[in-house]
Structure 1
């Protein structure tokens, strides 16, 4: 009898994230996951329980990666509007450079599964809440430094920035170049 194949669950979740991000939840088949993870179907289900459970782990991994990236970008030093513009441009550049034009896995999941997947919806909602809160904190910093008028509502501006990022990530999936995205970025930052 052969020895069972050993695998690293973290690597498996990372690989599953890539598949789900590229194809979406519904279009990803168990065979796609078996092929990407290098596991048999039985091992896949024994390790993760179900396709939905593995998807939720992959989505949490994406959320954690993106939250860390956002925090690093927004924690840089310098004027608030410059940091925000740099962060938005980096997101656009990353999306445009991706040959699969995957966009944002959280935005994709919100569009695909909102209302049908309670856990996935909660993970996406939490990611959006964290992003919006990071933007709100950045607005408050800008108000303290005098870059942003103190009579502007930081929560409303945080929501506006979140909405702009969601739209930007969708536009990047179909953009034929950076021009429209640059206009959106400049208009968004200038509106603050």
Structure 2
């Protein structure tokens, strides 16, 4: 008779996400995962199949949590430009406050694995598509409300905002303070 699992696989995915986010896929060992999850290697492989399969689940979990949080911030009431400033400022503050300076797990994964791991690249691509779509919708709302000029291309501005966010997340990993990121935020809002 099989013994029941002594851990919650959903919690384990969250814990694994933290390890992969901090260390990256390549630098994370199965022992790192076993230690973080508090389970044996047999349980790790029996439940998730492989380190890579667990990484895929963790990357999807990251995508879902981050895109949901972004959607909630973007959909809050108030003027569009103020909401966008709030989103960018919050991202900068979170990244600068993180003692590990992890940045964005999706961006980190793209830099590490995009050329060699089609599945991970696909998950990252979907993350970027959702994020860009949320920014595009915000721009379109700003146009309807008269806050953003109607002749601006919402798809192009959505791409610009995505690119700005990615750049900010990378800068925050090495920034000594908030000054550069504050300038980026101001210039981004002013460019709309």
TM-score in terms of structure 1 length = 0.97
Alpha-carbon shift at residue 189 of structure 1 (Å)? 1.2
Query: 1:31-180 alignment to 2 at 5 Å?
Result: 31-180=31-180
Residues 149-192 of structure 1 show CA distances to partners (whole Å, capped at 9, x for unaligned) of 11100000000000000000000000001110000111111111
Give the superposed CA RMSD. Answer: 0.9
Q: Distance in 1 between matches of 2:37 and 2:78?
A: 42
Structure 2: give runs of 5+ residues left out of the alignment: none
How far off its partner does 1:93 sit?
0.4
In 2: Cα distance, 1:83 partner to 1:174 partner:
26
Cα displacement string for residues 4-60 of structure 1 (whole angstroms, at most 9, x for unaligned residues): 651100010000000000000000001000100111111111110110000000000
Aligned length: 190
CA distance in 2: counterparts of 1:129 and 1:4, whole angstroms: 39
Displacement of 1:118 in angstroms is: 1.0
Any idea what SS the aligned residue of 1:77 has?
A: coil
Q: Deviations over 1:90-109 (max 9, x none)?
A: 00000011100000100100
SS of alignment partner, residue 25 of structure 2: coil
Tell me what 1:26 maps to.
26
Secondary structure class of the residue paired with 2:28: coil
Once the two structures are superposed, residues 51-90 of structure 1 have per-residue CA deviations (whole angstroms, 9 ceiling, x without a partner) of 0000000000000100110011001111100000000000
State the shift of 1:119 in Å: 1.0
TM-score w.r.t. length of structure 2: 0.97
